[in-house]
Copies of this chain bind each other. A is one copy, B any other.
């Protein structure tokens, strides 16, 4: 994994966390809705995971945003 790839995953994760908080949701709230364990969401929000499209879709639905918002710079 290159440095720019790491940076990219960090950005995606940070965007998810930011949007989630703006909606007043905890990691646990989101996890409950999409049946994900909180360590895994944490891992994604911290950019340690090369998350798949469908996982992004589930998260986006849970926090009521469009997936594309996760990729805003």
Interface residues of A (CB under 8 A from B): 1, 5, 8-9, 12, 50-54, 56-57, 66-69, 71-73
Whether B71 pairs with A67 at a CB distance below 8 angstroms is yes
Given A67-B71, A71-B68; A50-B53 close (CB under 8 Å): yes
Whether A52 pairs with B50 at a CB distance below 8 angstroms is yes
A contact patch SS: helix
- Among residues of B, the one whose C-beta sits closest to the C-beta of A54 is B50
Whether A8 pairs with B54 at a CB distance below 8 angstroms is yes
* Chain A to chain B contacts (Cβ below 8 Å), 9 pairs: A5-B57, A9-B54, A50-B52, A51-B52, A51-B53, A53-B56, A68-B69, A68-B71, A68-B72
